[in-house]
Structure 1
Amino acid sequence: MDQARSTISKIFNGEPHSYTRFNLTQNMEGDNSQVEMKLSSDMDEEVGENGVGDNRNHNSNRKPYVAQKLGRTPKNLCFMAAATLLIFIIGYLLGYLVHRKKDLAPTCAASVVRLDEDVAHETGAASLMDWDDVKKLLAQKVTAANFEPVFREFSSANHRAGSPEDDALGNKVVKKFKEYGMKTWTDEHFVKVQDPPTSGSNRVVFKNGNAMRPEGFLSYSATGQVTGAALYAYYGQESDLRLLRDRSINMTGRVMLVRAGRISLAEKVANAAKMGASAVLIYPDVADYLNLDSVQLFGHVHMGSGDPYTPGFPSFNHTQFPPVQSSGLPKILAQTITKDMATKILKQLGGQDVPTEWGGLNKFGEEGDNITVEVNNILTEKKINNVFGVIKGFVDADRYVVIGAQRDAWGPGFAASTVGTSVLVELARSISDMVKNDGFKPRRSIVFASWSAGEYGSVGATEWLEGYVSSLSMKAFSYINLDGVVTGQKGFKVAASPLMHSLIESTMNEVNSPNNAGTLFSRFAKGNLESDVLVPLKLDNAAYPFLTFSGIPSVSFGFTSDNSYYTFVGTKLDTREKLNLATGNQVSQLAEIATRFAGHMALRLVHDHLLRMDVMKYDKIIRTRVAQINVKVNAVQRMQPKRLPKDLTMQWLMSASGSYSRASRNLAADIQNSDLEDIEMCRIINDRIMAVEKNFLSPFVSPRENPFRHILLGSGSHSLKALSDHLDALRTDNPEADANLFRNQFALATWTIQGCANSLAGDVWSLDNEI
């Protein structure tokens, strides 16, 4: 061993003397840094020349001690060769062990059969399937014949939220999702809802006559008993009540009798409460509900969505928030009555004749036409389950579109829930099959959701949003609502976020209408999507909280009847037979078209590199609203200078509008110039698009007090519509108008728009700072 050590020492310290130079990596400035490494003999020579080495070696020309002692004899050469061989063997063994360890490591796909040919590596930079092929696959999977067995499986005579029948349908949905190979889960909530009295009934008595005891009811009505003079108020719209006010008709303490339709039941009650009414009776009029003399109406009157006893937060079983109520709960009584009951009352009303635009057949009623209303609804807690399945994306799996349908109904609910649930299940089956068997690889994920308690005001969907709002932020980029997708055949209506209008138009041009009578666009849009197809998204639509509470671009659509109103929704007559009459026995065919329409939108959103959303659509809306406010501000300053001083300027609101316009145009230019092979750049652009809707949610109001915070499409004093209405009140010197409140909301709305523009611009160094 001593000999080996000596030999190794000889290798590094002995002759011949050598000189080696290494060039290091080029530095940031561009020059090459060099390091010279010299062996020991060189060092000895240099030290000697400097006059220092002589003190240690005394003779710079003699060889090192080991070299002198060993020399270059055959024996020493053998030792050197043996040492070299030993080093080589040790290195070989170490390399073998490392290589062997890699071979023995477990593999992720040991069962995959190796192919002789090179397999194309999926980098995520481009979709592996052409869009035309995706459309053809979906058309092959979705057929009208497939719906008949699904309709039978998901039909139920009674599946009210929280009932055993509702749970049984939820289990069927989960079973289907599992059969399709999807990951499934459930979401349990304990919600408070109001049901009709289990013993006794609600009562309506007109002029001390016989008590009328309707079976229908309105959940979340105030309870108790009131007596007041009857007042016919048409549909109970704000314009209807303004007409009564302009005619100097006293509305305080009155029991308003209003028709169902045109606006939601909750809006009717809220409007009446603002005018001081004590109760509201809602009935189906012959003009809207044909041959339904004794039909009972069911619904809710919460001016909001979700569990009104947990506003702004989820109703999980472990929730420990103190008791609180939604501000949208009415303070007055509300009850539905049949057409027969309403007719008996209307025939006996006195007072002035109603205007001709209201039909001219009824009278308003007078002080002696007293009605007693008694509501004995009971508040109860129910356990509900939302069920989910997911098809995961192959590139951005953490970004997803949500497709949902309510599962519950007041009675059979065939149009209200059965058709939507069937479309949901068939769409899940079709897309799952495309992924498993046809090579389709969605870039992003698709979440399928079956909601419960939809009839009580989108309770299941809203509680899910409230429970996972932080998880959904910047991840759920769209919601497609399947409730009521088939209620007729003569029309096709869509309510959606403006971001999705271009996607809706392109989809309508790709999907054929029933009986192949052209595309949906050519048949129903007649060349103008906005006027012939698009309608406002209403409060009672399940897509509304997704858009205005969570800031998720949403769409709701459906085939409709001539008057855009299927009269059996909200009754126990919503059956397959009734829907057959409304559709000419084409329910399955229309369900097929609805599935393809929803599927095309969803697949487009998860297929393309960049999200198919047009941020410039909001530019026109903002400019229009700002122009309207500008005209009204000038009018108030001219007519009521004391209410709105001259120093209030439109400059900053107009500047914010301009900032959004420039930011949206710049993003459109970035999209045009984008490299679709750059995954990271596509993700950054998509994040900018996804942030738009969320940034229109006012950050200056509480989601508990004002859940629908969207300043353009929501409701509350923070919205641009409320600003416009407030200016009308200031112009007419309405005592309820508050100039200071207006100015505060005006400033906050301005900064909300500017904040959205800043976010849309992207990086902080790209912001428009002109404001």
Structure 2
Amino acid sequence: CIQAPLLPSSISASTQFNGEPRSYTRFNLTQNMEGENSQVEMKLSSDMDEEVGGNGVGEDLNHAKEPYVVHKPAGRTPKNVCFMVATVLLIFIISYLIGYLSHRKTELAPPSCSRSTFEESITEDSVKMEVDPLMDWKDVKSLLDQKMTASSIESAFSEFASESHQAGSAGDMELANKVLGRFKQYGMHTWTDGHFVKLVDPPASGSNMVTFKGSDLGELRGYLAYSKTGTAKGAVLHGNYGQMDDLGKLQDKNIALDGRVLLVRSGKISFAEKVANAAKLNASAVLIYPAGDRQLGGSTQLFGHVHLGSGDPYTPGFPSFNHTQFPPVQSSGLPSILAQTITVNMAATIMKGMEGTTAPAGWVGVGRLGDDKDMVTVEVNNVLSEKLINNVFGVIKGFVDPDRFVVMGAQRDAWGPGFASSTVGTSVLVELARAISDMVKNDGFKPRRSIVFASWSAGEYGSVGATEWLEVRTQDKNANLRTTVFLLVSQPMISIQCLQKVFTPLYFSHIVMEPLRLNDPAYPFITFSGIPSVSFRFTTEGAEYPYLGTLDDTRDKLYGATSNQVAKLAVSAGQFAGKIALRLVHDHLLHLDVEKYIRQIRTHVVAINSKIQKLQSVLPKLLSVQWLISATGSYSRAASSLSNEIDNSNLEDVEMCRNINDRIMSVERDFLSPYVSPRETPFRHILVGSGSHTLKALSDHLDALQNDQSDADADLFRIQFALATWTIQGCANSLAGEVWSIDNMI
């Protein structure tokens, strides 16, 4: 038998409060592998000095030679009994006082925290509520509607309107301090997140220049951040909107883009995508002018960026902090060719002098495509500079799961006045913070999860502030629920049922779902960090607000475009965004539908399977879609099983709800391919991301193999195919939950 006395620290209280020795107790355990009965004898003896040395190890290691003696308890004297009674009463009084003070601390704890880090602001002084803090959802909606008013929005417009607040400027910092002050005024815990990032300014002296057939087209104030600098000269060629389909039509006419200066109009896709498409086909430069349907003035200048990514392109995949000395590196999304915006009048001058073949049918407003004699020279002299930007945060902590949170964010900077692009969003964000804080303080609303309000900087340069914050938080496993609210775009994970419950059927009938675009501020949240995201916008059918990205985005222009309904629309925007966020922090279980992706995955799998069948002569005979189909089935079964588990769940079980919500939140994160580098391929989501790892890229690669393109590689396709299959299977395994629930047939 094995004898194991307790450590001295474990028995000191017994020795002190009762000066008598204790006997040890024998515990029988299960049989050992040889079939014998193992026994552990645990000795609770106060006479440790006789058997144990100062480090807790017996001084005489030959235990078998000297058996332990079982002592009988000594008699209890009146003195000992009185001492024990006094001790018990003292412990009871101390315990009662601790419990009372803890209860008072719970009632009086302020909604803010004292320390400045993100983790501390979410978790410090957090309270696990024993009583369900649920308020009826109808009452929550009604309270928010009452507190969001046009008059308060108008007041916020006046406070946050600014003629100049470009990222990293004094105007940007002034607005940041105003937002910070508002958050503090509402009693929220606040903090800032500073980054030194590489931003681009126009030339310090002189300007960029474009000449056509030797003639200068005029002053260029607009520019494209992160364009390659230098000079390029080539024959101009019209490329419509610069989409790959447009450029394909040029190739169908046997027109090569090598060395040409591509003239394209804005719209359809981002500036960065236009430039990247041109670079793929070896163009030397790109000129972008406002599309005719924007109805801008002939001399209106355009501003934007051409980084095919998000965040600081000189610290790709990792955050920019205080001049940290990283090795020289830059994003793979930086363009290799020059890019510059021009005005409508400048574009008209070029197009009038262009010759060559007639434009393809459907290219409205485009006459001739241009020939080899239509020479254009583009000179870009933009200046790269390092600037400090600051994101501003305020938090309303949850009462049940304070470390699970929703992020509501808005862009704060702009190229010019930026009334629509930044002032309205910032005003709505601040007013939502005021309304929800007031609901918590004065109306008894207790959100289950936390709400983080974020004011991002450097959004005009490609969501730099938001992405840098994400890069800091990317390793945080507790950031389980975030959603950014900017424009009207929905992801499959955002349930139609959730939106129906937010607004009335009348409102819902006017909601149009769109896929996220690369230039959408919510795009990096889902594709880089795997955070379910939704953004939204208000628009008139068939018309877009034309002044974004220009210096004409002013209060007067926006009021004119909306028939003076800006405040009313802003209230609606706040109510819409607020109700989505409040629903996500109100309910026991998140209204995110994991089954929405089943159809999308199957659509890709069916297309891939069909193309593989047609390419059996090119691909290895052993290549089968069976494992991809099996992984899809695993995800489908895991999603259906979770939905059934949700239907049969006990909402009063806090830990069970937390576990289910964590599994729901893991889906988007698990769709990020673990097999590609965040530095080289930041948008790693295999369904809505971009890169060779996506299911769409697999399908496109099969098209390239079928067309015998030079960049097609059957062996590379097999590798990409296998990695995509395992990404889907890994997501299914994570969604299944416990290890014994995994359906792994691969």
TM range (shorter): 0.7 to 0.9
Check conservation: 1:313, 1:463, Cα contact below 8 A.
yes
Check conservation: 2:128, 2:400, Cα contact below 8 A.
no
Q: Could you say what secondary structure the match of 1:585 adopts?
A: coil
Counterpart residue identity of residue 636, structure 2 = S
Q: Could you say what secondary structure the match of 1:477 adopts?
A: coil
Counterpart residue identity of residue 270, structure 2 = S
The equivalent of 2:559 in structure 1 is 580
Using the size of structure 2 for normalisation, the TM-score is: 0.85
The equivalent of 2:678 in structure 1 is 703
Check conservation: 1:194, 1:378, Cα contact below 8 A.
yes
The equivalent of 2:545 in structure 1 is 566
Q: Could you say what secondary structure the match of 1:107 adopts?
A: helix
Check conservation: 1:481, 1:555, Cα contact below 8 A.
yes
Check conservation: 1:206, 1:372, Cα contact below 8 A.
yes
Residue 195 of structure 1: how far off its partner (Å): 1.2
Residue 122 of structure 1: how far off its partner (Å): 8.1
Q: Could you say what secondary structure the match of 1:519 adopts?
A: helix
Aligned CA distance change for structure 1 residues 232 and 620 (closer, same or farther; 3 Å):
same
The equivalent of 1:178 in structure 2 is 184
Whole-Å separation in 1 of the counterparts to 2:681 and 2:353: 42
The equivalent of 1:198 in structure 2 is 204
Counterpart residue identity of residue 635, structure 2 = Y
Q: Could you say what secondary structure the match of 2:162 adopts?
A: coil
Any residues of structure 2 matched to 1:141-540 within 5 Å, and which? Answer: 141-286=147-292, 288-359=293-364, 361-471=366-476, 473-482=477-486, 485=487, 494-507=488-501, 510-511=502-503, 519-522=506-509, 524-525=510-511, 533-540=512-519
Any residues of structure 2 matched to 1:680-699 within 5 Å, and which? Answer: 680-699=655-674
Residue 646 of structure 1: how far off its partner (Å): 2.4
Residue 213 of structure 1: how far off its partner (Å): 2.6
Aligned CA distance change for structure 1 residues 474 and 721 (closer, same or farther; 3 Å):
farther
The equivalent of 2:67 in structure 1 is none
Any residues of structure 2 matched to 1:735-746 within 5 Å, and which? Answer: 735-746=710-721
Whole-Å separation in 2 of the counterparts to 1:551 and 1:665: 21
Whole-Å separation in 1 of the counterparts to 2:388 and 2:644: 50
The equivalent of 2:53 in structure 1 is none
Whole-Å separation in 2 of the counterparts to 1:230 and 1:686: 55
Counterpart residue identity of residue 679, structure 1 = V
Counterpart residue identity of residue 167, structure 1 = M
Match of 2:526 among 533, 539, 547: 547
Whole-Å separation in 1 of the counterparts to 2:370 and 2:107: 83
Q: Could you say what secondary structure the match of 1:620 adopts?
A: helix
Q: Could you say what secondary structure the match of 2:743 adopts?
A: coil
Whole-Å separation in 2 of the counterparts to 1:270 and 1:262: 14
Aligned CA distance change for structure 1 residues 364 and 113 (closer, same or farther; 3 Å):
closer
Whole-Å separation in 2 of the counterparts to 1:304 and 1:322: 20
Match of 1:140 among 132, 146, 150: 146
Using the size of structure 1 for normalisation, the TM-score is: 0.83
Deviations 1:370-397 (A, max 9, x none): 0000000011001000010000001111
Whole-Å separation in 2 of the counterparts to 1:351 and 1:252: 16
Deviations 1:419-470 (A, max 9, x none): 1101110111111111111111111101110000000000000000011211
Check conservation: 1:480, 1:598, Cα contact below 8 A.
no
Whole-Å separation in 1 of the counterparts to 2:631 and 2:79: 78
Q: Could you say what secondary structure the match of 1:230 adopts?
A: strand
Residue 563 of structure 1: how far off its partner (Å): 2.8
Q: Could you say what secondary structure the match of 1:225 adopts?
A: strand
The equivalent of 1:726 in structure 2 is 701
The equivalent of 1:636 in structure 2 is 615
In the alignment, structure 1 residue 660 sits paired with structure 2 residue 635: yes
Residue 558 of structure 1: how far off its partner (Å): 1.1
Residue 416 of structure 1: how far off its partner (Å): 0.4
Residue 109 of structure 1: how far off its partner (Å): 5.7
The equivalent of 1:44 in structure 2 is none
Residue 481 of structure 1: how far off its partner (Å): 2.2
* Paired positions, count: 663
The equivalent of 2:625 in structure 1 is 650
Whole-Å separation in 2 of the counterparts to 1:136 and 1:410: 37
Check conservation: 2:318, 2:468, Cα contact below 8 A.
yes
Check conservation: 1:474, 1:691, Cα contact below 8 A.
no
Whole-Å separation in 2 of the counterparts to 1:331 and 1:629: 32
Residue 504 of structure 1: how far off its partner (Å): 4.9
Aligned CA distance change for structure 1 residues 651 and 159 (closer, same or farther; 3 Å):
same
Counterpart residue identity of residue 236, structure 1 = G
Residue 580 of structure 1: how far off its partner (Å): 1.2
Deviations 1:516-559 (A, max 9, x none): xx73113x14xxxxxxx111101111100000000000001010
Check conservation: 2:399, 2:448, Cα contact below 8 A.
yes
Structure 2 gap ranges (5+): 1-24, 32-74, 109-126
Counterpart residue identity of residue 737, structure 1 = A
Whole-Å separation in 2 of the counterparts to 1:28 and 1:609: 42
Deviations 1:649-689 (A, max 9, x none): 11000111111111100000000111111111111111110
Check conservation: 1:497, 1:547, Cα contact below 8 A.
no
Residue 474 of structure 1: how far off its partner (Å): 4.5
Aligned CA distance change for structure 1 residues 147 and 25 (closer, same or farther; 3 Å):
farther
Structure 1 gap ranges (5+): 1-22, 30-79, 115-120, 486-493, 513-517, 526-532
Whole-Å separation in 2 of the counterparts to 1:172 and 1:228: 49
Whole-Å separation in 2 of the counterparts to 1:85 and 1:698: 73
Q: Could you say what secondary structure the match of 2:405 adopts?
A: strand
In the alignment, structure 1 residue 679 sits paired with structure 2 residue 654: yes
Residue 289 of structure 1: how far off its partner (Å): 1.9
The equivalent of 1:8 in structure 2 is none
Whole-Å separation in 2 of the counterparts to 1:407 and 1:503: 32
Residue 511 of structure 1: how far off its partner (Å): 2.7
Whole-Å separation in 2 of the counterparts to 1:675 and 1:92: 44
Residue 225 of structure 1: how far off its partner (Å): 0.6
Of all paired residues, the percent bearing the same amino acid is 60
Counterpart residue identity of residue 388, structure 2 = K
Check conservation: 1:502, 1:613, Cα contact below 8 A.
no
Whole-Å separation in 2 of the counterparts to 1:414 and 1:89: 78
Q: Could you say which structure has the larger radius of gyration?
A: 1
Note the aligned Cα RMSD (angstroms): 2.5
The equivalent of 1:765 in structure 2 is 740
Q: Could you say what secondary structure the match of 1:357 adopts?
A: coil
Whole-Å separation in 2 of the counterparts to 1:754 and 1:98: 55
In the alignment, structure 1 residue 750 sits paired with structure 2 residue 722: no
Check conservation: 2:480, 2:662, Cα contact below 8 A.
no
Whole-Å separation in 2 of the counterparts to 1:124 and 1:610: 17
Whole-Å separation in 2 of the counterparts to 1:185 and 1:298: 31
Whole-Å separation in 1 of the counterparts to 2:132 and 2:323: 45
